[in-house]
Structure 1
Amino acid sequence: MLQFKRPGNWLFIVPWIAFIPWYGMLIAMLICWASQGHPLYWFMHTEQFPIYISDIGATNLRPLFISCAGWQGLGYVVTIALEFFQRSGYLPFQLKNNDSSISDSTSYAEKLHSGKYLMPPYYTKHERNLIFAAFVLGGIGQLALLFCSIFSTALYHRVHIAMVSVFVVFMFLSVCCLIAEYFLMGRHYASVHPLASPHFNPQSSEKKLQSKL
């Protein structure tokens, strides 16, 4: 009989708990709109296609839209906070100034195998700061989405559009920070990989690249 290995922790369930209700809400709202005969609401343009979720959320389904927007926003920032916690041992709002960067692959390997961290710890403060920036930017973006659901497009169209713009910009920046963090983490983690060259030093490579530029 096939047996699955028990995970080291169950924090990976948090994003599922956050986002399954959100996608369930999207599907439910589209089903409701379809069951009504694909109507064009009074505040919509007559030639508008496709319909936006904000349009459906401005109807009697507005309480569902607000609650699920707040829930998935909370889930997003909690997910990033948990990654920060697993890589550092403390939460983002407990940011410490005395954290030391890892100067060589040997000390990082010792830190990695210490069992103190639930995920590979960050190699330099740049990676830590990128996770923290993603947390802050994502929090602002998700608040904008919550306000977007509160200020419906039917009653507060200009405010609604402004909040959508803030949401898109700050979530884009948050995702960019996460991509940069994972890029740096992968590059530095390669230096302690068993197959890595003993002469590979990511920090010296960065200095050489900067000198060429």
Structure 2
Amino acid sequence: MWYLSYWVVPILSALVWLAMLIAMLTTWTSQGSPRYPSMEAGQHIAYISDIGAQGLKPLFIAMSTVTVVTFDLAFIFERWLRHTGKLTPNTSIWQKLYSVCAIIGSIAGAAGLILLSIFDTLRHPNLHDAFLVLFIAGYIVSAIFICWEYQRLGVHFREHSVLRWSFWIKLFFILFELGLAIAFGVTQNRDQYNAAAVLEWVIAFIFFFYVLSFFIDFMPAVRGKGRQSRETEMDMAGVETGRGDGAAEGGQNFRGNGYVNGTNGYTNGTNGYTNGTNGYTNGHSNGFANGTAPSHIPKPTEPAPLPSRNF
């Protein structure tokens, strides 16, 4: 159940964010798309922060906080799982550094979102804009570093396709969100507030898919836990049937202590032979019956005892 919680965390974070966006957009449209006091002249489409500065401010603060706190936990869990080997481990100190930088960037982005929801655009417009920049920049920087980490991991673990998928998803987020953020800033500076508002909503919904994508990163840990459990059950079944850890199909090829009254895995004999010593049976020597081998035929070298396989 603990492994299940890893990939539930980004899903929970994404769903809370989506629910908040839908609740705010639905509230604004159901009220007849009113023009709030924080909106600029000629602006007809409300920003997320315009809606959040009104009666939905408690919802805006609470759900924004839950979203980013749980999302940052996903970064921390990812670092922990790689450190403990539940996910493909980092192969260099640089990869670990990239992961730590991604966590720091996500914490900065989380602080930006929480603070911009508290210092709303109606009462604290300058602080609100500054924290908005911190929110967007923090998570873009975080995405750059975790994308960098996954690119290096993919080089060393080419057999893990999930690393490639995760890398491309994060790279798409970096490029697309960065382009939209630049367009948002340009339209703001040109007083094209309706276009800027649309871009802000698009950025917010793409952020939902970015957060949701992190559950893919934890799937190898869940599969690894299941595989380990099945192997453990097979080992326990082998012990219960008395076959030991070296059992193979059909009860053949037992390793160590799997036979009765024998030494080194064989029955009633010494060093791999039956009822005799060193490969000779019933008192015969060197392949001659009831006699001594001719002097001109050298006695074969006795085979060395087989090493014990009891481990």
Normalised by the length of structure 1, the TM-score is 0.71
Give the alignment of 1:32-51 within 5 angstroms: 32-51=27-46
Check the 8 A contact 1:19/1:75 in 2, yes or no.
Answer: no
Cα offset, 1:188, TM superposition = 1.4
Please state if 1:68 is matched with 2:36.
Answer: no
Whole-angstrom distance in 1 between the partners of 2:45 and 2:151: 36
Check the 8 A contact 2:35/2:44 in 1, yes or no.
Answer: no
Check the 8 A contact 1:40/1:46 in 2, yes or no.
Answer: no
Task: Supply the AA of the counterpart residue of 1:145.
Answer: L
Q: 1:49 to 1:172 in 2, by over 3 A?
A: farther
Summarize deviations over 1:136-164 as a string: whole Å, max 9, x none.
11101110110000000000000000100
Check the 8 A contact 1:134/1:175 in 2, yes or no.
Answer: yes
Give the alignment of 1:8-47 within 5 angstroms: 9-10=3-4, 11-47=6-42
Check the 8 A contact 2:14/2:67 in 1, yes or no.
Answer: yes
Summarize deviations over 1:63-104 as a string: whole Å, max 9, x none.
000001111110121000000011002xxxxxxxxxxxxxxx
Cα offset, 1:8, TM superposition = 9.5
Whole-angstrom distance in 2 between the partners of 1:70 and 1:85: 23
Cα offset, 1:35, TM superposition = 0.5
Match for 1:124 among 59, 76, 92?
A: 92
Please state if 1:173 is matched with 2:168.
Answer: no
Q: 1:176 to 1:61 in 2, by over 3 A?
A: same
Task: Supply the AA of the counterpart residue of 1:134.
Answer: A
Cα offset, 1:9, TM superposition = 2.6
Check the 8 A contact 2:121/2:129 in 1, yes or no.
Answer: yes
Please state if 1:138 is matched with 2:132.
Answer: no
Tell me the SS of whatever aligns to 2:121: coil
Which residue of 2 is the match for residue 161 of structure 1? 129
Whole-angstrom distance in 1 between the partners of 2:98 and 2:46: 36
Which residue of 2 is the match for residue 203 of structure 1? none
Check the 8 A contact 1:87/1:118 in 2, yes or no.
Answer: yes
Check the 8 A contact 1:15/1:79 in 2, yes or no.
Answer: yes
Structure 1: any 5+ residue segments left out of the alignment? 1-6, 90-116, 195-213
Cα offset, 1:50, TM superposition = 3.2
Identity of aligned residues (%): 30
Tell me the SS of whatever aligns to 2:19: helix
Cα offset, 1:49, TM superposition = 4.6
Which residue of 2 is the match for residue 92 of structure 1? none
Whole-angstrom distance in 2 between the partners of 1:8 and 1:69: 25
Cα offset, 1:168, TM superposition = 1.4
Whole-angstrom distance in 2 between the partners of 1:137 and 1:49: 34
Whole-angstrom distance in 1 between the partners of 2:14 and 2:138: 19
Whole-angstrom distance in 2 between the partners of 1:82 and 1:58: 33
Structure 1: 4+ residue segments shifted above 2 A:
none
Tell me the SS of whatever aligns to 2:55: coil
Normalised by the length of structure 2, the TM-score is 0.49
Whole-angstrom distance in 2 between the partners of 1:23 and 1:122: 32
Tell me the SS of whatever aligns to 1:84: helix
Tell me the SS of whatever aligns to 1:183: helix
Whole-angstrom distance in 2 between the partners of 1:49 and 1:167: 25
**Cα root mean square deviation, aligned:** 1.7
Whole-angstrom distance in 2 between the partners of 1:50 and 1:59: 15
The structure with more radius of gyration: 2
Please state if 1:88 is matched with 2:83.
Answer: yes
Query: Relative contact order, CA 8 A, sep 6+: which one is greater?
Result: 1
Whole-angstrom distance in 1 between the partners of 2:157 and 2:117: 41
